[in-house]
Amino acid sequence: MRAACAMIHLNALRENLRRVRELAPGARVMAVVKADGYGHGLERVARALEGADAFGVAGIADGQRLRAAGVSQRIVVLSGHDEPGDLAEMRRLHLDTVVHNDAQVDALAADRAGRPLRVWLKLDTGMHRLGFAPERTREVFARLRALPSVDEGITLMTHFANSDVFDDALTTQQIERFERSVSGLDGECSLSNSAAILGWPEAHGQWVRAGGTLYGISVVAGKIGADFGFRPAMTLSTKLIAINRVRKGERVGYAVTWEAPEDMNVGVAAIGYGDGYPRHAESGTPVLVKGVRANVIGRVSMDLITLDLRGAPDAKIGDTVVLWGRGLPVETIAAHAGTIGYELTCGVTRRVRFVEDES
Ligand SMILES: *Cc1c(COP(=O)(O)O)cnc(C)c1O
């Protein structure tokens, strides 16, 4: 069996949800579990986060999986209905839809099949991805309200483009545009993603939508989840499977990009981009060998990485090597690989063994 293992810390997930509630008192929490729970496992995360008020998924297929797993909370399909059969399936599974364009409103208008669906009306206040222009809010809201296929409790939502920069004027502007467009409308409001839960308390509304924070990951530049009281929910580890003595001037790995500056020990760990360890992790990216820091050297290959063991003289074959998680923030690894922590946890592949841990 390959040694690569993603340990999912269930209690960290639960504590992170408590921390979100502490930061956004009075708001209900939608736990965003798209992309297989940011790579932690959809059903597993939903079970650990059974205290959430709703789950946010990217597509209907994830809603099907959650209902099959017995999840009874509200489930919001964040990109909404799209194809002809979607509304019937969403009704069957009691999934909420997000409406962000006219074709979706037309589909709801043409739908006469029975029980009303719950709708989240999405406004584009400045991100320019999904949503109606703010000046159309009242017209679309009124049209939806009049449809028998739409439940009367419509939630008004928007998404921030840059809320991880805590003093960015764009977020202030997005909040103002949102408040102006929805004022006087009778509906709950949802604006905040993780970064806004942390940095924009005035935007918490009735529903916050927490993703990264629940997994203990920060998107705020230079910060890690722990800086805000969150614990990592995934520890990715493997084993050291070889230690080689390499002479000064010899080079290591594909494309021979790294040259030994002295006679030294080079470790080989059983993980690579085939497991989701980023190929772009540069020489100098840290790992922990039995708790002691060592650095990746040379190119990351599909199944293996090579390590500078000069700082870990006691390292032995069979030692556990932690790639990220407890003791080694995924944000640090992401910074060395030119990406964000989210992409790394989402990218752990199927050949990695997932193990649940209560702590
Ligand atoms: C992914 C997503 C979120 C969660 O974002 P985080 O930054 O991970 O908290 C919230 N709302 C929407 C619409 C999303 O797509």
Atom of ligand 1 nearest to the CA of 34: 1
What confidence score (pLDDT) does residue 150 get? 97
* Residue 188 maps to a domain: yes
212 plus 251 within the same structural domain: no
Among protein residues, the one whose CA lies closest to atom 8 of ligand 1: 211
Locate the ligand 1 atom nearest the alpha carbon of residue 212 and give its number. 8
Same domain, 180 and 260: no
Same domain, 97 and 174: yes
> Which domain-ending residue is among 217, 243, 272?
217
CA distance 191 to 184: 17
Residue 28 phi/psi, 5-degree rounding, is -85, 155
User: For 286-297, what is each residue's pLDDT tens digit?
Assistant: 999 999 999 999
> Does 1 reside within a domain?
no
> What mean pLDDT comes out for the span 281-308?
98
Same domain, 129 and 24: yes
Q: Identify the bridge partners of residue 220 per DSSP, sorted by sequence position.
A: none
Distance 178 CA to ligand 1 centre (A): 17
**CA torsion 166→169→172→178, rounded to 10°?**
-130
How high is the pLDDT of residue 13?
98
Ligand 1: does its nearest atom lie under 6 Å from the Cβ of 252?
no
Q: 190 and 328 share a domain?
A: no
For a substitution probing ligand 1, which of 29, 122, 130, 193 has the most ligand atoms within 8 Å of its CB?
193
- Is 306 inside a domain boundary? yes
Give the separation between CA 211 and CA 218, rounded to whole angstroms: 10
Percent of the residues in the chain that have a pLDDT greater than 70, as a whole number = 100
Kindly report, residue by residue over 121-152, the tens digit of the pLDDT: 999 999 999 999 999 999 999 999 999 999 99
Looking at residue 219, its pLDDT comes to 87
Token pair, residue 142, equals 């009124």
Q: Which of 209, 217, 345 to mutate to test the pocket of ligand 1 (most atoms within 8 A of CB)?
A: 209
Task: Report pLDDT for 1.
Answer: 80
For residues 161 and 242, membership in a common domain is answered with: no
Beta bridge partners of 78: none
Strands 74-77 and 95-99: parallel
Last residue of a domain, one of 157, 186, 217: 217
Give the domain extent around 68. Answer: 10-217
Region 292-304 average pLDDT: 98
Catalytic position from the list 34, 215, 239, 273 = 34
DSSP state of 57: E
pLDDT of residue 267: 98
Task: Tell me whether residue 227 is in a domain.
Answer: no
138 and 30 housed in the same domain = yes
- Kindly give the distance from the C-alpha atom of residue 209 to the centroid of ligand 1, in angstroms, as a whole number: 6
State in Å: Cα 193 to ligand 1 middle: 5
Q: For 163-172, what is each residue's pLDDT tens digit?
A: 999 999 999 9
Residue 56 Cα, ligand 1 centroid: separation in angstroms?
Answer: 8
Q: Is 34 tagged catalytic?
A: yes
Active-site residue, selected from the candidate residues 122, 223, 239, 254: 254
Domain count of the chain? Answer: 2
Same domain, 163 and 248: no
Task: Give the model's pLDDT for residue 291.
Answer: 97
Please indicate, yes or no, if residue 264 is contained in any of the structural domains: yes
pLDDT at 2: 87
Same domain, 189 and 119: yes
Q: Ligand 1 in contact with 33 (CB < 6 A)?
A: no
Q: Report the distance separating Cα 204 and Cα 230, nearest Å.
A: 18
Provide the percentage of residues in the chain whose pLDDT is more than 90.
98
For the question of residue 254 being annotated catalytic, the response is yes
Residues 169 and 262 in one domain: no
What's the pLDDT score for residue 113? 74
Q: What is the CATH number of the domain that holds 52?
A: 3.20.20.10
Share the mean pLDDT of the chain. 97
pLDDT (0 to 100) of residue 87: 97
* Length of the chain as a residue count: 359
CB 80 within 8 A of CB 100: yes
CATH number for 297: 2.40.37.10
Residue 114: the pLDDT is: 76
How confident is the model at residue 112, as a pLDDT? 82
Q: Is residue 148 part of a domain?
A: yes
**Residue 255 above 80 pLDDT?**
yes
Same-domain status, 169 and 99: yes
Coil, helix or strand for 319?
A: coil
* pLDDT exceeds cutoff 90 at 323: yes
Residue 5 lies in a domain: no
pLDDT band of residue 75 (cuts 50, 70, 90) is very high
Q: Is residue 4 part of a domain?
A: no
Does the pLDDT at position 9 exceed 80? yes
* Residue 12 reports pLDDT greater than 90: yes
Atom of ligand 1 nearest to the CA of 209: 10
Instruction: Give the end of a domain, one of 184, 217, 250.
Output: 217
Residue 283: pLDDT over 80: yes
200 and 322 share one domain:
no
